[in-house]
Amino acid sequence: MAEQVSIAADASTTLHGGKKRKVRADANTGIGLIASYPLSVADLDALPDEQRQLRLAEIREWAEDSIAFAQSEFPGRVQVAALHWDESHPHIHILVGATEPCNDFKQLHKGELARRAVQGNDRTGQGKKAGNDAYKAEMRRFQDRYHHEVAVHYGQARIGPRRQRLTRAQWQREQAKAEALANAKRQADIVDRQAAKVLSDAQAQATWLVEATQEEARLQTARIAQEKERAEKLHQQAQADALVAAQARQTAEDARVAAQALVEKFKPYESLGGRILGFFGLKKLFEHRAEKRWRQKTKVLHAQIYRLTGEVSRVDAINCERETATRALNALKVALQVPIDAQAFRSEGDAVRARLDQLQQFMKASSSDQVLADVLDNYVIQLRLMAHTQPGNGVGGAVTDPAQSL
């Protein structure tokens, strides 16, 4: 990357006296930043394994914060960063520079930019002094920004003991303050991670249960839709069958009327003609045929009515099962919405997990939707009783298994 920065500088131009010139061969074309972590490698290796792993994670965070600081100070110019362990303290090297040629190459160094802005083309002693003062002031501001945004969060003091003219004891007190601040940050980070993990676990279980409930509701909805479609088809078939039955009844009635008309037709012959017909067996023949036709029509009609009655009973059973499944889902929803009393647990996360575990046990142990609905209704009643019970009134304790109380 350093070679690419040099190549880009060689192909660039700079403005000097209003004219474009090539960048000088000895010009500074890049910046190397170095930042050190306040804990030595030897002290790091001497820590217990658990603390050492925590410090290693903190060193990675410190390195990432240092890189982020450099990127904010030199936007688009940070090319590479490397964390080194080859000296007494862990330290990071950051290379800053441009890798693309430009027509107006400028020095990137904060101090040099401040020096040139103040000194300009003044080569006198006074001009050089003003430029040097501006250089130092800008570099102090640069390190102040790094200390405020990065170093102070990792137990690093802004200035060493010699620069402040502090005694060893005074310097140790200053360093202790910085380390205390860093330790407070570490403890806060640990607490935040633990809290995030507890909340994440509880949220994951709650999400799983909600998704399972939603999936069950989706399946029940699909099943209800299928049964509704089937019931609609049965209804249409029943209407068609009713029409056929009506036609059959009408046909049977027509046959009866025809037979009656035939009987009425031969009434004038009841005397001599009737006896003659009876002698030849014609009257009984006519009556037998009419009766047989009537029995056939009636048999068909009874079969259709029996089949329709069975279909209606099946539709009623499906509707009953759907209502039971809907009641179970509503009971589960109410159980999830009842406020959680976390006093009996170490944390709200434990209380949430206990509630979810209890509901999962109910779902696994219930042999039917009817049983699950009854168990959940009883469970919600106990939760609400416990929520309204005041300490010392003789009522309280853990929620019992609703399945045993049914």
Question: Read out DSSP for 158-192?
Answer: SS-HHHHT--HHHHHHHHHHHHHHHHHHHHHHHHH
Residue labelled with tokens 């969060």: 153
**Tell me: the pLDDT tens digits for 109-138?**
889 889 989 988 888 999 999 999 999 999
How many residues comprise the chain?
406
pLDDT of residue 27: 84
End-to-end Cα distance, the chain? 76
Instruction: Report the alpha-carbon distance of residue 326 to residue 223 in Å, rounded.
Output: 12
pTM for this entry: 0.44
pLDDT of residue 202: 62
Q: Which residues are CB-contacts of 107 (< 8 A; sequence separation ≥ 6)? A: 27, 28, 113, 116
Residue 327: C-alpha distances to residues 183, 267, 323, 333, 374 (Å): 54, 69, 6, 10, 9
Alpha helices, H only, 266-281 = 272-280
pLDDT of residue 243: 77
pLDDT averaged over 10-residue windows placed end to end, the chain, 406 residues: 90 82 87 92 93 92 95 93 94 93 83 89 90 94 92 79 60 65 63 65 68 73 78 76 71 68 58 52 62 71 67 68 77 73 64 76 79 83 70 42 41
- Percentages helix, strand, coil for the chain, rounded to the nearest 5? 70, 5, 20
Instruction: Report the alpha-carbon distance of residue 30 to residue 74 in Å, rounded.
Output: 11
pLDDT of residue 406: 34
pLDDT of residue 337: 72
Instruction: Report the alpha-carbon distance of residue 121 to residue 128 in Å, rounded.
Output: 10
Residue labelled with tokens 């929520």: 387
Among candidate residues 323, 337, 339, the one with its CA nearest the CA of residue 373: 323
pLDDT of residue 183: 64
Please, is 192 exposed, middle or buried when counting C-beta atoms within 10 Å of its C-beta (0-12, 13-18, 19+)?
Answer: exposed
What is the largest distance, in Å, between two alpha-carbon atoms of the chain? 163
Q: Can you state the angle between helices 168-265 and 282-337, rounded to 10 degrees?
A: 170
Phi and psi at 341, nearest 5°, equal: -95, 105
Q: Which residues are CB-contacts of 119 (< 8 A; sequence separation ≥ 6)? A: 127, 128, 130, 131, 134
Q: Which residues are CB-contacts of 396 (< 8 A; sequence separation ≥ 6)? A: 386, 389
What is the rounded (10 degree) CA torsion for 386, 390, 395, 398?
40
pLDDT of residue 390: 43
pLDDT of residue 65: 95
pLDDT of residue 86: 92
Residue type, 113: L
